[in-house]
């Protein structure tokens, strides 16, 4: 896509004056550093409480890093390290697809500083990965999820959720806010309800959610087996969430 090439060529020299969500006033540089902040603190820059109403691109207060752990730097499931290489011609469309389906939002302008910064971050991740050794590039996820040969059991998933997931995400699935102000987002994201992913998200498909759960959850010590991840995913996806418009 010619648009992507033009965006990447312009990154680093394009700036735009705007009010930062942190309250800092100054030039925004559409570089990888800004792109990383957009991924880790999406709600502050692009969420429904962003100071500038024109910057309110998402209806949810979750961050992209809720799924793309470590701002996408972590190898394995939902890593962003290989995104720019795997989708060189449609990366802008894929980013905006996530904005719409996962973040319950609207597309970022393709030639705007936010899109340019995110693309720059993805390119940085790819370059960083290429410069590392093979050992550092290995994922530490458990074996790949295999869909059990049975119907998922949400009731069993609920029992497992209470034991293994509720400490971080809450028994009500509402997540753990980062502060008293939801404008600051979440330490652990909500899994259903107003600030969760939409029913049009890929994560709303039980096998996709189960694959992520098995690979990454509980955070830092993933030890659920295929059956457990499958049932937990079914339970989570049985709950209400924003409807994709």
The yes-or-no verdict on residue 1 having pLDDT over 50 is no
pLDDT tens per residue across span 2-15: 444 344 444 443 33
| CATH fold of the domain at 2-131 | Cytochrome Bc1 Complex; Chain D, domain 2 (1.10.760)
What length does the chain have? 245
Return the pLDDT at 21.
Answer: 39
* 95 CB neighbour count, 10 Å cutoff: 20
More confident residue, 137 or 204: 204
Kindly state the percentage of the chain with pLDDT values over 90. Answer: 84
pLDDT at site 79: 97
In the chain, domain spans: 2-131, 154-236
What does the pLDDT look like over 117-150, one tens digit per residue? 999 999 999 999 999 876 677 788 999 999 999 9
Highest mean pLDDT among 26-35, 130-139, 232-241: 232-241
Task: Give the distance, in angstroms, between the CA of residue 212 and the centroid of all CA atoms in the same chain.
Answer: 12
Q: Can you tell me the distance from the alpha carbon of 231 to that of 149, in angstroms, rounded to the nearest whole number?
A: 12
pLDDT tens string 40-84: 999 999 999 999 999 999 999 999 999 999 999 999 999 999 999
Give the CA radius of gyration of the chain. 18
The Cα 63–Cα 76 span in angstroms is 19
Backbone angles phi, psi at 23, to 5 degrees: 100, -10
Q: Which CATH architecture has domain 154-236?
A: Orthogonal Bundle (1.10)
Q: Residue 135's pLDDT is what?
A: 63
SS (H, E, C) the chain: CHHHHHHHHHCCCCEEEEECCCCCEEEEECCHHHHHHHHHCHHHHHCCCCCCHHHCCECCCCCHHHCCHHHHCCCCCCCCCCHHHHCCCCHHHHHHHHHHHCCCECCCCCCCHHHHHHHHHHHHHHHHHHHCCCCCCCCCCCCCCCCCCCCCCHHHHHHHHHHHCHHHHCCCCCCEECCCCHHHCEEECCCCCCCCCCCCCHHHCHHHHHHHHHHHCCCCCCCCCHHHHHHHHHHHCCCCCCCCC
pLDDT at 28: 83
Whether 236 contacts 152, CB under 8 Å: no
The answer to whether residues 115 and 108 touch, using CB atoms and an 8 Å cutoff, is: yes
Check pLDDT > 90 for residue 33: yes
Q: Given this model, what pLDDT does residue 19 score? A: 35
Is the model's pLDDT at 152 over the cut of 60? Answer: yes
Task: Give which of 137, 98, 95, 102 is closest to 119, Cα–Cα.
Answer: 95
pTM of the model: 0.87
73-92 pLDDT, tens digit per residue, is: 999 999 999 999 999 999 99
Mean of the pLDDT values across residues 174-182? 95
Short-list 193, 222, 207, 183, CA closest to 69: 222
Whether the pLDDT of residue 207 is over 90: the answer is: yes
Residue 23 pLDDT exceeds 60: no
Q: Among residues of the chain, what percentage have pLDDT more than 70?
A: 88
Confidence of residue 159 (pLDDT cuts 50, 70, 90): very high
Q: In the structure encoding, which two tokens stand for residue 26, read together?
A: 């100054």
């Amino acid at each position: 896509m010619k648009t992507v090439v033009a965006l990447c060529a312009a990154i680093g020299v394009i700036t735009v004056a705007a009010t930062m969500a942190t309250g800092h006033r100054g030039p925004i540089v559409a570089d990888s550093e800004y792109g990383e902040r957009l991924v880790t603190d999406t709600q502050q820059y692009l969420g429904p409480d962003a100071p500038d109403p024109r910057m309110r691109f998402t209806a949810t207060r979750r961050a992209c890093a809720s799924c793309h752990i470590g701002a996408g730097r972590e190898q394995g499931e939902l890593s962003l390290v290989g995104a720019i290489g795997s989708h060189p011609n449609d990366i802008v469309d894929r980013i905006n697809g996530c904005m719409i389906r996962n973040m319950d939002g609207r597309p970022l302008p393709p030639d705007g500083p936010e899109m340019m910064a995110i693309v720059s971050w993805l390119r940085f991740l790819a370059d960083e990965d290429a410069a590392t050794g093979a050992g550092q590039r290995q994922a530490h996820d458990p074996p790949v999820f295999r869909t059990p040969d049975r119907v998922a059991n949400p009731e069993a998933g609920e029992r497992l959720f209470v034991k293994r997931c509720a400490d971080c995400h809450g028994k009500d699935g509402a997540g753990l806010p980062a502060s008293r102000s939801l404008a600051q987002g979440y330490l652990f994201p909500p899994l259903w309800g107003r600030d969760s992913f939409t029913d049009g998200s890929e994560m709303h498909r039980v096998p996709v959610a189960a694959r992520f759960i098995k690979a990454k959850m509980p955070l830092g010590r993933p030890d659920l087996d295929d059956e457990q991840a499958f049932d937990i995913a079914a339970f989570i996806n049985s709950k209400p969430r924003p409807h994709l418009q």
